[in-house]
Amino acid sequence: MRFKAKTKLRILVLLSQELMPPEKLDEGVEKEKQPWRTEYDVITTLKSMGHEVYPVGLQSDLAVISNAREENKPHIAFNLLEDFDGHALFDQHVVSYLELLKQSYTGCNPRGLTLAHDKALTKKILSYHRIAVPGFAVFAMGQKVVRPGRLKFPLLVKSVVEEGSVGISQASVVNDNERLAERVEFIHRQTSSHAIAEQFIEGREIYVSVIGNRKLQTYTPWELVITNLPDGALNIATGRLKWNPDYQRKVGLVTKPADLPPELQRKIEHLSKRIYRHLSLSGYARMDYRLTNDGEFYLLEANPNPQIAKNEDFADSAAHCGLSYAQLLQKIITLGLSYKSTDHLIL
């Protein structure tokens, strides 16, 4: 039975202009291979729920938002931005602009985005609160790569700010200083950002979806499993693995409910809520962990405003708890409408 919203809302959907989806799919188009599949799923589902939906494509001009507000008088902005003007860190400033306009919006607040976007700062905050994270070092652009003696190999090298596994491949895991320097230089060149090298943690890859502002809820912990991993390859979520459906089928990528003993499931759910609060997150987020053989969870990344396309981890995790995709989007909207800008000040 199709879910209909009880109250019809006017909704601006904020997205990058290059990810503006078509109104309907042409015959033969595989949506799962399109970069705009999240935008398409959200827009079409919100319309099917009875809402008035106004997609707003952004590039580098915030006036587009104020013009759309003046024209459509939205109740809320559904924020799907992952960058602004080509900069991954600028999406937090767009949300700050929405707050200055006193415009309700979905997803995370500016402070939470700022803290979570900086992977090094995230680890420092969580270490202070005695939450296990991999050991790490940051290598700034333009500076010589000198590994601290305390930082032991193997190390995984990535951008300190980019998300979505940008720049991550099997070559990201290095075992000596020469390879470390080469990979750091690669990240600097490819992403124009500082690099972070963190200790590679062997173990299972577990994701936990968290939703809420003050009162938090977790959905079923989810696991990434590669059933046909090539010989010598490591179990890591590379950019190719995350975004290439053909490669996913080739290596037998499966994401499914994590089979955890009750005590470990309670532990990771409680831990995820603690992290969410310590990082001042709101709306919804996904926590990425490694679970070691001795039952320890290491937080790899906290991801506010994660991927919410149909049949992706967050939506599948919610569905496993009995929430349809339309109900999930409605819950995200309800949280956005009820959010107060002072909520994230309570740690």
Name the token pair of 78.
């559904």
Q: pLDDT band at 165, cuts 50/70/90?
A: low
Read off the pTM. Answer: 0.92
Contact status, residue 108 vs residue 305, Cβ threshold 8 Å: yes
Which whole number is the average pLDDT over 104-118? 96
Q: What is the pLDDT of residue 301?
A: 93
Which whole number is the average pLDDT over 308-331? 97
Which whole number is the average pLDDT over 128-137? 96
User: How far apart are alpha carbons 107 and 303 in whole angstroms?
Assistant: 11
Residue found under tokens 């500076």:
143
User: How far apart are alpha carbons 268 and 194 in whole angstroms?
Assistant: 30
Q: What are the distances in angstroms from CA 106 to CA 40, 115, 134, 304?
A: 17, 18, 31, 11
Helix intervals (H) in 76-118: 91-100, 110-117
Count of residues in the chain:
347
User: How far apart are alpha carbons 244 and 177 in whole angstroms?
Assistant: 31
- To the question of domain 135-199 being in CATH 3.30.450, the answer is no
To the nearest 10°, the Cα dihedral for 51, 342, 281, 41?
10
Which whole number is the average pLDDT over 233-254? 80
Contact status, residue 120 vs residue 98, Cβ threshold 8 Å: no
User: How far apart are alpha carbons 105 and 116 in whole angstroms?
Assistant: 18
Q: What are the distances in angstroms from CA 146 to CA 15, 136, 186?
A: 40, 13, 16
Judge if 135-199 and 202-345 fold alike in CATH terms.
no
Q: What is the largest CA-CA distance in the chain?
A: 60
pLDDT at 147 over 80: yes
Q: What are the distances in angstroms from CA 327 to CA 1, 14, 157, 289?
A: 12, 20, 38, 26
Q: What is the pLDDT of residue 168?
A: 83
Name residue 317's amino acid. Answer: S
User: How far apart are alpha carbons 133 and 130 in whole angstroms?
Assistant: 9
Of 94-103, 109-118, 248-257, the poorest mean pLDDT is in: 248-257
Which whole number is the average pLDDT over 140-144? 91
Which whole number is the average pLDDT over 25-47? 92
Phi, psi dihedral angles at 197 (to 5 degrees): -115, 120
Query: Which residues contact residue 162 at a Cβ distance below 8 angstroms, ignoring those fewer than 6 apart?
Result: 88, 191, 193
Q: pLDDT band at 238, cuts 50/70/90?
A: confident
> What homologous superfamily is domain 202-345 in, according to CATH?
ATP-grasp fold, B domain (3.30.470.20)
Contact status, residue 297 vs residue 277, Cβ threshold 8 Å: no
Per-domain residue ranges for the chain? Answer: 10-105, 135-199, 202-345
Condensed to tens digits (0 to 9), the pLDDT of residues 51-101 reads 999 999 999 999 999 999 999 999 999 999 998 988 888 999 999 999 999
Q: What's the mean per-residue pLDDT of the chain? A: 92
User: How far apart are alpha carbons 279 and 128 in whole angstroms?
Assistant: 12
User: How far apart are alpha carbons 287 and 241 in whole angstroms?
Assistant: 18
Q: What are the distances in angstroms from CA 63 to CA 59, 294, 304?
A: 11, 53, 25
Phi, psi dihedral angles at 17 (to 5 degrees): -55, -40
